């Protein structure tokens, strides 16, 4: 089943928070993730730079780590930065998600692609949020994360924040989390994987990792 882009938030068995993002694409598969300090960007692979002129939504920061390494934001588009900046200014993750998604709205491409987002926050005992803005609505929710569990939302087919879009989270490292979202568990049935990115909490920060799907 093709569900497009996927954002997942999770908690490891030893209670570390994790945000994961997977690019799945039928139209623009020639993309990869570039790790930078406290952020990760989705960009065209060398030789495919002109793809951004065909679709301006295919290159963006998909991960930002802010608030001194306490908060990670993961999304499928340019809303990563405004969400992160609002949290940095003191806004709660819920309100930052609501305001940014409402302001930017769904993507005005050929598919009216929803914007999806996740926030994991180590402060105040730890919490995780998912959000989506579709052509027909906006929903942000604090998810009931527990050790060893994940929740996810996708741009197509699974674009609602449901308790049933969840499962056991086996990852122990950020690399494990990327591999899991590319082809583990329920995600093995989600087609056209391109690349995955993860931010997993450590004692003082978030460990960042990226992994391309084997065939890309």
The structural domains of the chain, with segments of one domain joined by +, span: 6-212
Instruction: Assign a CATH topology to domain 6-212.
Output: 3.60.20
Say what the pLDDT of residue 215 is.
72
Q: Which of 89, 86, 82, 128 is nearest to 104 (CA)?
A: 82
* Mean of pLDDT over the chain: 96
pTM: 0.96
Whole-angstrom distance, CA of residue 18 vs CA of residue 119 = 9
Position 203 scores a pLDDT of 86
Q: In the prediction, which pLDDT does 182 show?
A: 98
- CA–CA separation, 75 vs 192, rounded Å? 18
Q: What is the pLDDT of residues 116-147, one digit of tens each?
A: 999 999 999 999 999 999 999 999 999 999 99
Segments of the chain scoring below 70 in pLDDT? 216
Burial 118-132 (b: 16+ CB within 10 A, else e): bbbbbeeeebbbbbb
Distance (Å, whole) CA 153 – CA 134: 12
66: left (phi over 0), alpha (psi -120 to 50) or beta: beta
């Amino acid at each position: 089943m093709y569900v497009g882009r996927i954002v997942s938030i999770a908690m490891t068995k030893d209670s570390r928070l994790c945000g994961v993002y997977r690019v799945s694409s039928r139209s623009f598969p020639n993309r990869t993730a570039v790790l930078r300090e406290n952020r990760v960007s989705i960009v065209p692979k060398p030789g495919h730079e002109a793809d951004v002129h065909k679709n301006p939504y295919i290159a963006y920061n998909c991960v930002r780590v802010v608030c001194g390494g306490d908060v990670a934001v993961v999304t499928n588009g340019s809303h990563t930065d405004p969400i992160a900046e609002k949290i940095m200014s003191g806004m709660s993750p819920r309100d930052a998600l609501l305001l940014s998604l409402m302001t930017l709205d769904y993507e005005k491409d050929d598919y009216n692609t929803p914007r999806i987002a996740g926030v994991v926050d180590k402060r105040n005992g730890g919490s995780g949020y998912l959000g989506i803005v579709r052509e027909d609505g906006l929903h942000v929710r604090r998810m009931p994360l527990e050790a060893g569990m994940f929740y996810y939302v996708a741009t197509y087919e699974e674009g609602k924040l449901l308790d049933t879009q969840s499962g056991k989270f086996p990852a122990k490292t950020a690399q494990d989390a990327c591999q899991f979202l590319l082809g583990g568990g329920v995600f093995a049935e989600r087609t056209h994987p391109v690349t995955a990115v993860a931010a997993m909490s450590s004692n003082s920060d978030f460990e960042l990792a990226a992994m391309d799907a084997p065939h890309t």
